[in-house]
Amino acid sequence: MPAPYEQGQPVAWIEIDTEGLRVHRATVDTVEPSPTADRWTITTDRGTTTVDATGIGPDAVPLEPDIAEDLYVFGDGYLVTSTLIGMELAAYIDSGVDEGDDLGLR
């Protein structure tokens, strides 16, 4: 299985902030297989983390065009805050409620 990143590739580095998440641009320095199957340890100019085969981990995600645009518009380290609506939707999804019958979806 090929590594999800290459040396020199940019990634979005995520840091937890008291008000939400801060998004930074980072550059991959090294990529090594992790002891866990289908995982990779990447070292960037911001830190080290483990990612899955798609390049997603707790501190790093692929630098998608929309994230790159936000970094350009809002600057490095821009703050992403959650909304109450987003939290309510996540709680609803996590509740496992199936209203398919009520919505005529079945």
Residue in the structure block whose two tokens are 């199936």: 98
Assign 82 a pLDDT band (cuts: 50, 70, 90). Answer: confident
For the stretch 46-74, pLDDT in tens is 999 999 999 999 999 999 999 999 999 99
For residue 40, which of 29, 27, 53, 25 has the smallest C-alpha distance? 53
CA distances from 37 to 4, 6, 33, 43 (A): 13, 19, 8, 18
pLDDT at 106 over 50: no
What is the reported pLDDT for 91? 63
Assign 92 a pLDDT band (cuts: 50, 70, 90). Answer: low
